[in-house]
Structure 1
């Protein structure tokens, strides 16, 4: 594959310039207008002293200026470092220490960082300004984005994604997602999410479709935008999908144009998936990580629950046992990934650190298994496996089995330390009516799961700990337990 990230926007401006590319609230950009906005930001960055190879930290708020800045920084050969809007001063300090940015682009309330600071207003003034087209374009092997992983503990790691990584990720999505003609996609997550950088919106733009950008996620607003813009596909993490399925308007006519949603971060739980299917909306589960520049597997809308589908073209995905030997079909092991969308290195202040082993495999730390049709099922993180009385329990399996208990809004499962059993399977529930008991949970699981997988402890909480992208922060669950 040749070219650089963002080429699809340039060609879109050339061959479909008058088509609508982006909508945000009451503003609309055609492909030609979006490309012009990118060129104008390139001119302002250049005038401010940003040069090829410089790192530019950007607050990844859900706003059009951030998308335009993404394309401008990468097109001029600089490196974008997108951060979630809720980043703290301490977290920003770590990022700046690791990347030594030449500039920080953010709103007025964003924590201060070193180097040049540009506000959205300064980089995107209302009056038209000069435009620029870089003469020295980056190569495919140049770093386009340093995306910091949203881990639940420890120091965050900056994944160096090249132009080639992002373009191969987009190619994989185009090959597997069920796009139609003239799609309109809704994006309502922070723009620092890797599924935005290398996933659904990039694919829609490559097909000359329209992206609707929501300023935030709220179920009612999501439904309004689908209705008002006749949205055909959308990206949602499982927590968002679950909230949508419980909204009073979910079964009304306002979602009639929505054909499918892409679920990322973890597979949609069975109960939520079935609610969408009954509503006539397909759920495409994907498996991918920051290190793989978004999805490396995508399910078909009619695949069985739990499946994240088969690998995209050019990607190799294997499941191995503790010795690194391929595991038999149906047997869980660690998921390894190899292919052109996989990053080569983490960028740190001390220098690059390899992402892959000597044979190019990225050892994900995730547990999964293949079914007889070659579809991947993700069953959890290796480090999240609960060992109770010498038996292994995958939290995701228990969560999925508990998700359809009446009155339960959200569920998470973790291991609580115990001097006798090692760990106790512990369920954390968010409810909207009533308070289930342990006996209720066990009655619900009777015949569904082996008894050693049943929760021995229950904690009803007002909310589950989640990161900026909606990912469950499992390591924080045990802090919710009463003494």
Structure 2
């Protein structure tokens, strides 16, 4: 298996051309058909002036055209920049400023950005099977990308309130797939269900890629809905699926969960944060294993995967091509059972963040990515994630930076101060919570949750909106005036 991203798809098309690779609603692609669609999309990108090294922003909607575009852009040596489907104009402007794309591929409802605007129909016209006759178009004149070339720039929340673009190379994505295949029980008879936006790193370098590498079938859902999820499992005899903890919690509490419609489902891969213990036990009782994982955008998806029978909270031991350590504040490895910061090193870890001013290192001089997450090893060498040194909120598997939300709420009428933090939630893991100090002369009474969310409409993607608002007389601050974010949780009980 070569390190060029998408090589596993080309190999599968040559070895098992007639096997079903992808299902979406009433459409089906064999491996040969999916490979043909990628080649034709490469030709259309070439026709529209996309060249190796160019950045192409793409709306990361859950649709087959997005998967085909992912393979086509990276195959020709260009760089895909996938974004959450709900991204706002302001957020897109930051991405375009940093990456300077030559094109934006999206539907008509997506905000305008810089670069040539391409619709899905421009790259994937109706009747595509006959668009080039019986022959594929002539391939572009440029050769395949190198393993060290950047394939994807995946944006993640940063500590400054400005999203950061993680530059994932073909090698990074290749080794992420090697790690996943070493830990997860995939076979050619597996059918995997994906029902998350395709901008998620667990899709870019995760479950569907592992499935295709083993010549299995991927069923793509247009959205997550518990009823639709159960329907697709039953209809396509799905054996495994990816779900962030919020999705798993909703499924476990759904009336159809205990019926026979999920009988083919063997296990669920939980990403974003570990599945809650109660949810995990409900799945176990149902005969469905839950595989917790630990990974970040900077590590190109998972670097640990638990066994389904592992203790609750465990995310498993490090994958074969990963070095992972837990260190104390001095950088010394912490003993088993003692929490510390999680550091990761290995070929799946990105080297730099992409910025308009030039690359910014992701790792230190020794190659360690200092995650900012707190974890500990048990006596068996299995990692548990126990918190975060950084303030990023993980809600429903999506990262939210408090500073970004605070900046967007700073001009809410009548607000003197605002702080944002995560509050524990049994479904979402955490919910975004806004703490507001209201001025004495605030017009129309104190702002409600609806006021806050209305203020953010068009400014931030919906998953970043607060689900709770707490009015407080003052924010907790230290002697120097610095916000003491860890004390915000105590205000919830006042």
TM-score for the superposition, normalised by structure 1:
0.82
Which residue does the alignment assign to 1:133? 139
The question of 1:482 aligning with 2:471 is answered yes
Greater CA drift, 121-130 or 241-250: 121-130
Q: 1:254 to 1:360 in 2, by over 3 A?
A: same
Match runs of 1:281-320 below 5 Å: 281-320=288-327
Q: 1:415 to 1:17 in 2, by over 3 A?
A: closer
Secondary structure at the counterpart of residue 334 of structure 1: strand
**1:384 Cα deviation from its structure 2 partner:** 4.4
Which residue does the alignment assign to 1:445? none
Secondary structure at the counterpart of residue 250 of structure 1: coil
Q: 1:153 to 1:73 in 2, by over 3 A?
A: same
Q: 1:471 to 1:174 in 2, by over 3 A?
A: farther
Secondary structure at the counterpart of residue 377 of structure 1: strand
Residues 269-293 of structure 1 show CA distances to partners (whole Å, capped at 9, x for unaligned) of: 0000000000000000000000000
Which residue does the alignment assign to 1:226? 233
Residues 23-72 of structure 1 show CA distances to partners (whole Å, capped at 9, x for unaligned) of: 00000000000000000011111011110110000000000000000000
**1:2 Cα deviation from its structure 2 partner:** 3.8
**1:115 Cα deviation from its structure 2 partner:** 1.6
Stretches of structure 1 that go unaligned for 5 or more consecutive residues are 387-394, 404-408, 418-460
Which residue does the alignment assign to 2:338? 331
The question of whether the paired residues in 1 share the 8 Å contact of 2:433 and 2:470 is answered with no
RMSD: 2.7
Which residue does the alignment assign to 1:60? 60
Which residue does the alignment assign to 1:182? 189
Match runs of 1:12-411 below 5 Å: 12-127=12-127, 128-130=130-132, 131-134=137-140, 135-150=142-157, 154-384=161-391, 399=424, 403=426
Greater CA drift, 306-315 or 106-115: 106-115
Equivalent pairs counted in the alignment come to 420
**1:152 Cα deviation from its structure 2 partner:** 8.0
The question of whether the paired residues in 1 share the 8 Å contact of 2:187 and 2:215 is answered with no
Q: 1:46 to 1:385 in 2, by over 3 A?
A: closer
Residues 133-162 of structure 1 show CA distances to partners (whole Å, capped at 9, x for unaligned) of: 345110100000000014586000000000
The question of whether the paired residues in 2 share the 8 Å contact of 1:159 and 1:291 is answered with yes
Stretches of structure 2 that go unaligned for 5 or more consecutive residues are 394-420, 436-448, 454-460, 473-494
The question of whether the paired residues in 2 share the 8 Å contact of 1:236 and 1:264 is answered with yes
The question of whether the paired residues in 2 share the 8 Å contact of 1:367 and 1:382 is answered with yes
Secondary structure at the counterpart of residue 104 of structure 2: strand
Residues 355-398 of structure 1 show CA distances to partners (whole Å, capped at 9, x for unaligned) of: 00000000000000000000000011113499xxxxxxxx99x9
Q: Distance in 2 between matches of 1:289 and 1:239?
A: 18
The question of whether the paired residues in 1 share the 8 Å contact of 2:86 and 2:462 is answered with no
Q: 1:247 to 1:150 in 2, by over 3 A?
A: farther
TM-score for the superposition, normalised by structure 2:
0.80
Residues 6-30 of structure 1 show CA distances to partners (whole Å, capped at 9, x for unaligned) of: 0000001100000000000000000
Q: 1:372 to 1:295 in 2, by over 3 A?
A: same
